[in-house]
Amino acid sequence: MTTVDQLYALWRLTNHVDQPHRQRMRHQLQKIFTFRNLTIPWKNAAFSIPFLHHKSFKKCLQRFLRQTILRCKDLHLPFHIPTHKIREATHPKLFQTLFSHKHFLASLDVTQPPQCTCSQLQHLSDAIFHNGHLACPLENILRDHHLKHIATYSGSTSYFPSQTIFFQVATNSWLQWCKQHRLPSWLTQSFMDFIKLQWKLHLDS
């Protein structure tokens, strides 16, 4: 009788079989797994997260993933260990954060016209108004040197998000990775402790 380890090894070997034979073999194996009440192996996926500024972030994260995988080695299916590889996700872009008239018009409720707030900017000496409405480039109303420098960037320029946003993105990616590999949710606390430490290194770099 074929053992459980042999069945999982056969599934792993199907990765080296070309289509359409791979699909046919896995279809037959799925029937066996279902009959013997075994968990069907899931697709291995790399952990996806936007990188922080310090250069050691990737190596530290890979080391943390390896330690987590070894910590839960009794929970893995035979011959199906999660990968510690990392895929760098994209950071948000400026055009996704700044005001967009296209998005504004798409979400505009014609039954409730929006209130004009141009009067709140009347105190700006370099601002230009027409019929009471602001009508000048962004550079004219930005007094801070750093904000003026940002205004010269392209809308497709990426930037590092705030701590709250990054923690939310990192947590969602972690939960998705744990769900993909059937890892317990209590690992999230150790991951958040790791991210908090990495965020301090990010600010210091």
> Are both 103 and 146 inside the same structural domain?
yes
Q: State pLDDT tens for residues 38-93.
A: 888 888 889 999 999 999 999 999 999 999 999 888 888 887 788 889 999 998 88
Q: Are residues 166 and 80 in the same domain?
A: yes
Lowest-pLDDT range of 30-39, 52-61, 167-176? 30-39
- Domain range enclosing 108: 99-151
Do 86 and 183 belong together in one domain?
Answer: yes
166 shares a domain with 86: yes
Same domain, 182 and 84: yes
Cα Rg of the chain (Å, integer): 26
User: How far is residue 23's CA from residue 41's CA, in Å, rounded to a whole number?
Assistant: 14
Residues 164 and 79 in one domain: yes
Report the domain count for the chain: 3
Cis ω before 20 (30° cut-off from 0)? yes
37 and 10, same domain (yes or no): yes
Cα distance between residue 25 and residue 80, in whole Å: 18
